[in-house]
Amino acid sequence: MPATVLVLVETINDYLPILEHQGFHLILAPTPAERAEAVTRHSGQIDAVLTRGPLGLYADEIAALPNLKIICVIGAGYEQVDLQAAADRGITVTNGAGVNASSVADHAMSLLLSLVRDIPRCDAAVRRGEWPKIMRPSLAGKRLGILGLGAVGMAIAKRAAAGFDMTVSYHNRQHRSDVPYKFCSTPTELARASDFLIAATPGGLGTKHLINRQVLEALGPNGFFVNIARASVVVTADLITALEQRRIAGAALDVFDAEPKVPDALKALANVILSPHVAGLSPEATQGTVELVGRNLVAYFSGQPVLTPIELPKGVVTQAVQ
């Protein structure tokens, strides 16, 4: 009997035949109402769940799915998946780290270029029949700081260094001896050494609020900030204040605390560019991500090791009463 996969992701429908052709039965539940109904109605049928970091899978949902064996997360982040609940049940969790790195890096550089060169204001002015001579900085020769030098951070660094002659520094959980970029021991040190700062780190408790008032002060009034990571990496109130008071020059954001809601204070600012969490979306990235999910599912249900496992916390050990 084919394994049944509950699909919570709303952006991959065109590529779901990849999984169907591998023999998996799919239940689509992209809205909160459909999700709740599917968990209740099909609880005993679901063997696997396909989700993404912000959508997650919660402890009560895991408890409601007695036959759940594997959770596959699209993209690198898995911040809303209850890893402890999965570990307690012995459920495997995988992610798609690195598959969409090119797409996210392209979007990061697009946001940076648009922000620094003020493309939205130029576009709006021309549409109004105006012809302003807006003087903006160049990217060439500037200092780029990257918070998180994983697959996405590396893709950004290569584009910045090779394509724009930028000097690259980074902060990471660990120093990397395999890269030519300068390591900074703290986010504040990184910001102080940067003209532009890009957050490219995963979300979760380990990276929560790494970008705060102190870091933004270190970036300074001529500095620009781009976030294609997770909103949890930033203290949003500190960012808004820094932008309002021009303690930094501007910000470009693809991620927000309560998506799809965006603070009105951010919408009102002229020195901010906003995009609707689409950095990782491209046909190439989506196809590659679904293909990786398929390989993980096939491996798991064939009794083989999955390709991209997430390290889980220790599960609860229950002992029989003597």
- Say if residue 122 is in the same domain as residue 252: yes
Mean residue pLDDT across the chain: 95
228 located within any domain: yes
306 located within any domain: no
Q: Which residues contact 23 (CB under 8 A, 6 or more apart)?
A: 2, 3
Number of domains in the chain: 2
- Say if residue 172 is in the same domain as residue 162: yes
pLDDT at position 75: 86
CB 74 within 8 A of CB 282: no
316 confidence band (pLDDT: 50, 70, 90): low
Instruction: Using DSSP, state whether 154 is helix, strand or coil.
Output: helix
Structure tokens belonging to residue 235: 């203290």
- Say if residue 65 is in the same domain as residue 169: no
Q: Which residues contact 29 (CB under 8 A, 6 or more apart)?
A: 6, 7, 8, 35, 37, 38, 39
CB 73 within 8 A of CB 94: yes
83 located within any domain: yes
Q: What is the mean pLDDT of residues 277-300?
A: 96
pLDDT over threshold 60, residue 190: yes
Q: Which of 20, 37, 244, 259 is catalytic?
A: 259
Asked if 217 is an active-site residue, the reply is: no
- Say if residue 270 is in the same domain as residue 293: no
Asked if 175 is an active-site residue, the reply is: no
- Domain with residue 255: its CATH number is 3.40.50.720
Predicted confidence (pLDDT) per residue in 119-146, tens digit: 999 999 999 999 999 999 999 999 999 9
The CA distances from residue 21 to 92, 172, 213, in Å, are: 23, 40, 50
202 located within any domain: yes
26 located within any domain: yes
**End-to-end CA, the chain:** 39
**Closest C-alpha among 261, 256, 223 to residue 242:** 223
pLDDT over threshold 60, residue 322: no
- Say if residue 181 is in the same domain as residue 203: yes
Q: Which of 10, 230, 247, 311 is catalytic?
A: 230
pLDDT at position 319: 40
Predicted confidence (pLDDT) per residue in 84-127, tens digit: 999 999 999 999 989 999 999 999 999 999 999 999 999 999 99
Predicted confidence (pLDDT) per residue in 199-243, tens digit: 999 888 899 999 999 999 999 999 999 999 999 999 999 999 999
- Say if residue 53 is in the same domain as residue 115: no
**Alpha helices, H only, the chain:** 17-21, 32-41, 59-63, 83-89, 101-117, 119-127, 151-158, 164, 187-192, 213-219, 236-244, 264-267, 283-301
- Say if residue 30 is in the same domain as residue 149: no
Q: What is the mean pLDDT of residues 67-72?
A: 98
Q: What is the mean pLDDT of residues 45-68?
A: 97
Asked if 213 is an active-site residue, the reply is: no
119 located within any domain: yes
pLDDT more than 90, % of the chain: 92
pTM over 0.85: yes
- Say if residue 242 is in the same domain as residue 291: no
Predicted confidence (pLDDT) per residue in 239-286, tens digit: 999 999 999 999 999 999 999 999 999 999 999 999 999 999 999 999
321 confidence band (pLDDT: 50, 70, 90): very low
Q: Rounded to an integer, what is the distance from CA 46 to the centroid of its chain? A: 26
The CA distances from residue 172 to 233, 238, 243, 302, in Å, are: 13, 22, 25, 36
Q: Which of 277, 284, 295, 311 is catalytic?
A: 277
- Say if residue 8 is in the same domain as residue 152: no
Range of the domain at 30: 4-99+283-301
pLDDT over threshold 60, residue 320: no
List the strands of the sheet with 250-253, edge to edge.
Answer: 182-183, 167-171, 143-147, 196-199, 224-227, 250-253, 272-274
- Say if residue 200 is in the same domain as residue 187: yes
pLDDT over threshold 70, residue 1: no
134 located within any domain: yes
pLDDT over threshold 50, residue 47: yes
315 located within any domain: no
Instruction: Using DSSP, state whether 309 is helix, strand or coil.
Output: strand
- Say if residue 131 is in the same domain as residue 91: no
- Say if residue 150 is in the same domain as residue 42: no
